[in-house]
Structure 1
Amino acid sequence: MTRTNQISFCLSVWAVCFLLSVPAVQAVTIEEYITPSGASSPADLAVAPDGAVWFTEINANKIGRLIPAETKPGTSNGITEYALPEPNSQPHYITVAKDGIVWFTEMAGNRIGRLDPASGAIQEYDIPTEDSEPHQIKEGPDGSLWFLEFNANKVGRLNPKDGTIQEYAVGEGHPHAMVVDGAHVWYTQGGMFWAKKFFNKVARLNTESGKVEEWTVPPQKSVPHGMTQGGNGTVWFTQMFASKLAYLDFKQGTPPEIVEFHLGERKGPHDLIVDDRRQVVWFTANRPDSIGRLDLNKAQPGTNEGVEFFPLADPKAHPSQLELDADGNVWFTEMGMYFRGKYNNKIGKLVP
């Protein structure tokens, strides 16, 4: 064997060994569906018990419904839109109750909306505090609808039987995302980062006693943003400016330990959800625009071990909220930079 052949042989062996030593990246499939209204800016979405995906169109002033079995990627097939009664209401967050009724917040309209899927009829309920700017909304264990008043620094509760609304004042910080867990409402307080008004807290409201507990999330500009809960009751949240995912560990009591997972520089994680079956945490990221995954079997606190990103085709998609369906598919909104006048009009689905 010549020296040249020896070198080629050695390089080939090295290359094979290297490839065998590199863990394979698990492939995913991403599909996108177009809303009938252009520049609609889908903001939030929720999966109904029947599998339908409901979403808000903050710029089109509509609620959308997507039937997965009727969709075709790259088209509006299977999507129906419902216009709100009042113009410029800016429907923002949405949830589907156990009985199938769709509830949503109207950020500019200062109302809570109710949509009956059977008839398409929409009812609206005025929030007592003016200009409260309602954000996320969730159903409680008793069927009440809990929501956050971002601008008023309050937590609201709507009784679906009579439409009455009760409000709870909380500390300053502009509550954004929430988890409802029994008698407790958890929420993030990241401030108004676009106005350079930063807060770095997560908090818990005891709805029976009215007691509010707040915990600081360093650094000062961490901007706690999205929030979710795992099947074991653990509360997770994103730190949008600190580029981390984190959860609260109460094993040693109160205050809790904040367990953090680094994502890399300036990833801008927005929302997150725990897939207990696959033991991963999915999240939306904006730098670059992608869907991220944290593998809990590989993750190490304080590092970015187990983190992967799956870029979207549109570099200006600005994925916002996400949800899991019964099959473990990840549905997400592509909102665009709505607050800067840059709109998008897609709903995405990632198939693991």
Structure 2
Amino acid sequence: MGNPQQQRYVNGQAAGLSRLAFRPTGVFGTLLLLFPFVGGAQTVGVTMYPLPASGTGPGSITVGPDGALWFTEVPVNTGGNAKIGRITTGEAVSEYPLVARSAQSIVTGPDGALWFVEQNAAYNLVIGRMTTAGATSDYTYSGSPSAITTGPDGALWFVGLNIGDEQNPVGRITADGAITILSYAQNSTGIVAGPDGALWFTEYNKIGRLTTAGVLTEYPVPTNRAYNGGIAAGPDGALWFTESQANQIGRITTSGVVTEYPIPTAASGPGGITTGPDGALWFTEGNQIGRVTTAGVITEYPIPVSAGGSQGLAGIATGPDGALWFTAYSGNSIGRAVLNVEPAVVAGTPSSGSGVTQTFTLQFSHPSGYQNLGVVNALIGSSLDARNACYLAYVPSSSTLYLVDDAGDAGGPFAGQVALGNAGTIRNSQCAVNLASAAGNGTTLTLVLNIAFQPGFGGNKIAFLAARDLGAGSSGWQPAGVWQVPSAAPAAITVTGVTPAQGSGPAGTGQQFQLTLTDTKGTSDFGIANLLINGNFVDGRKACYLAYVAANNTLSLVDDAGDAGGPYAGSMVLNGQSGPIENGQCQVTAVGTSVTYSANTIALTLNITFKAGFAGNRVVYAAGRDIAGGNNTGWQPVGTWTVQ
């Protein structure tokens, strides 16, 4: 068929990796086990942002009209005044002092301002309004408002709380401040617009429903003295609420059927609740945030807290960045939780090229901030094999770069290590490396390395990158580019390269790749040229695996089984009008596929359309041999491609 090694697994390199016995722990942790790693454990990454001034504790939180998160701040044992706070998704915090003694529920109004409930200097509970520029207005009425929300009718709706008083108004306020009381309820602390066009609110031991026309219906909660708190419209068309005294999460359908789900942690005191970006409900409780699926399955995630301390979580909202934002009243901070966190490989620059020396810029990211990266890796070699490779790991917490020795054991010994700011060079038999810089900005860590390759390390190499976070999240190894290290004595036949050497494109869309090879004996000496596109290892199974036979000008595509000896998925004579050939991974069309010869060079142009099931990061390998089979390039990594 033209496979340089004439075996099903192409060159056996993937099987060879099973002989490696890397330690699963140590400075590099589990990330450095060299086998294909698909994803890591799903995690929740949390970052806490302390507020600049002490003496207050944040409570309610909402997404503002400007894309920032706005929250209320209440004085903590100081007798001072309340504030309205603002934090951008870029972590910038602003605070706006109020004349009020306290501030509670906050929501974005239909007029593009923030509306909230506050206690004024005369100890009266009133409704406040603040523009995004910080200008405030107060609206007073005879009642004790406790929570506010935007209604379906373009107005704001509020409920009241006054312990022992069963006549707390449920009302409506327009954007110009006109207040109408439509009904009364008992000790309400949360209100939200429901999917049925009515307002739903919590009461001490009931859930209330009020139409915009003022028709009130109340539904008892099964557990006595539940003390219902926050309430949110769920993704399942029901309303979900917290029961702070009963230590449960409740669900009520729009027809009034109530179901309760106990929280695993005893006496957790659930408070705020919101619909998350993942289709579940998220709530606050003590020093944890909780998640409840629409099927009632609850998972809890601890929030970092100092020894003997408490965060006292309160409000929670889904931000415009897809993260959960919550307030820590006791901790005087704002928290951000990113769901299903995975660190990622951003890029390696340059993504292709050749030379003995080169400065490489490598970028890695973590959705919760670059500080959450535990270790980042680069491995430059002929395949994903640590033995006799240029294999590096940078540990951000110690600002130290490590170079694995020739044996390739991630647990050591190491060929050397160097700290950031040290001009020293670390080396093994493949490369000599200097740590030029390492800098973090937001979610991204940028590593700059000066690398000089050793004379015996010549040939086409792949640059693999990987990142692991402080927990179980991992990017897995990702092919990020290719690099050609000049050999001391070039072979008679060589793989020159592939164009493009790096890129990406959607499945179902044709992409032309041009493979070039040279033969010092002339073009008549060419025998077979191969192109194999697959994952991190040279493996013909479930690959886009092609061979061009110069003698009969025929291009063949290996089938999904990957046997170089056949059967084949199809063949075509080039520069003709043959139909397409395809297997489970790709289709090659005659239009746009051709071969040209010039001097000692063959240029094979292939019009390839990848299939959706072949999505992911792929490595492009090439090989060639002469007509007699005496000169063989072996498989050479020449490019990377991401099928989207």
Class of the TM-score when normalised by the shorter of the 2 chains? 0.7 to 0.9
Q: 2:211 is matched with which residue?
A: 206
TM-score by length of 1: 0.75
Displacement after TM superposition at 1:322 (Å): 0.2
Matched, 1:62 2:83: yes
Displacement after TM superposition at 1:45 (Å): 0.9
- Does the Cα contact within 8 Å between 1:246 and 1:259 map onto a contact in 2? yes
Q: 1:101 is matched with which residue?
A: 113
Q: 2:246 is matched with which residue?
A: 242
Q: 2:406 is matched with which residue?
A: none
Structure 1 residues 140 and 295, CA gap change in structure 2 (3 angstroms): closer
Structure 1 residues 244 and 258, CA gap change in structure 2 (3 angstroms): same
AA paired with 1:178?
I
CA distance in 2, matches of 1:87, 1:61: 6
- Does the Cα contact within 8 Å between 2:110 and 2:175 map onto a contact in 1? no
AA paired with 2:269?
G
Q: 2:335 is matched with which residue?
A: 348
Displacement after TM superposition at 1:165 (Å): 0.7
CA distance in 1, matches of 2:130, 2:97: 11
Displacement after TM superposition at 1:346 (Å): 0.9
Q: What secondary structure sits across from 1:38 in the alignment?
A: coil
- Does the Cα contact within 8 Å between 1:270 and 1:284 map onto a contact in 2? yes
Displacement after TM superposition at 1:36 (Å): 2.4
Displacement after TM superposition at 1:62 (Å): 1.1
Structure 1 residues 312 and 135, CA gap change in structure 2 (3 angstroms): farther
Pick the aligned partner of 2:323 from 320, 323, 329. Answer: 329
CA distance in 2, matches of 1:245, 1:219: 11
Q: 1:168 is matched with which residue?
A: 182
Displacement after TM superposition at 1:269 (Å): 1.3
Structure 1 residues 29 and 201, CA gap change in structure 2 (3 angstroms): same
After TM superposition, the structure 1 = structure 2 runs for residues 208-287 of structure 1, keeping only pairs within 5 Å, are 208=213, 210-250=214-254, 254=255, 256-264=256-264, 265-275=266-276, 277-286=277-286
Q: What secondary structure sits across from 1:214 in the alignment?
A: strand
CA distance in 2, matches of 1:147, 1:167: 9
User: Which structure has the bigger radius of gyration?
Assistant: 2
Q: Deviations over 1:257-286 (max 9, x none)?
A: 2122221232221121122x4122111012
Matched, 1:46 2:62: yes
Structure 1 residues 25 and 240, CA gap change in structure 2 (3 angstroms): farther
- Does the Cα contact within 8 Å between 1:238 and 1:270 map onto a contact in 2? yes
Pick the aligned partner of 1:143 from 154, 165, 180. Answer: 154
Q: 2:560 is matched with which residue?
A: none
AA paired with 1:50?
D
- Does the Cα contact within 8 Å between 1:237 and 1:247 map onto a contact in 2? yes
Q: What secondary structure sits across from 1:170 in the alignment?
A: strand
Structure 1 residues 201 and 87, CA gap change in structure 2 (3 angstroms): closer
Structure 1 residues 80 and 306, CA gap change in structure 2 (3 angstroms): closer
Q: Which has the higher strand share?
A: 2
TM-score by length of 2: 0.42
Q: 2:12 is matched with which residue?
A: none
CA distance in 1, matches of 2:100, 2:258: 42
Q: Deviations over 1:194-216 (max 9, x none)?
A: xxxxxx111111231x2221111
Q: 1:339 is matched with which residue?
A: none
Q: What secondary structure sits across from 1:241 in the alignment?
A: coil
AA paired with 1:219?
T
Displacement after TM superposition at 1:232 (Å): 4.2
Displacement after TM superposition at 1:81 (Å): 1.2
Q: 2:383 is matched with which residue?
A: none
CA distance in 2, matches of 1:142, 1:257: 26
CA distance in 2, matches of 1:320, 1:148: 18
CA distance in 2, matches of 1:227, 1:268: 14
Matched, 1:310 2:326: no
CA distance in 2, matches of 1:219, 1:306: 19
Q: What secondary structure sits across from 1:327 in the alignment?
A: coil
Structure 1 residues 278 and 183, CA gap change in structure 2 (3 angstroms): closer
Q: Which has the higher helix share?
A: 1
- Does the Cα contact within 8 Å between 1:49 and 1:98 map onto a contact in 2? no
- Does the Cα contact within 8 Å between 1:106 and 1:133 map onto a contact in 2? no
Q: 1:179 is matched with which residue?
A: 192
Displacement after TM superposition at 1:40 (Å): 1.0
Kindly tell me the number of residue pairs found equivalent between the two proteins. Answer: 284
Q: Deviations over 1:93-138 (max 9, x none)?
A: 1111244311111134422111111x321111112x1xx3321111
Displacement after TM superposition at 1:226 (Å): 1.1
- Does the Cα contact within 8 Å between 2:149 and 2:157 map onto a contact in 1? yes
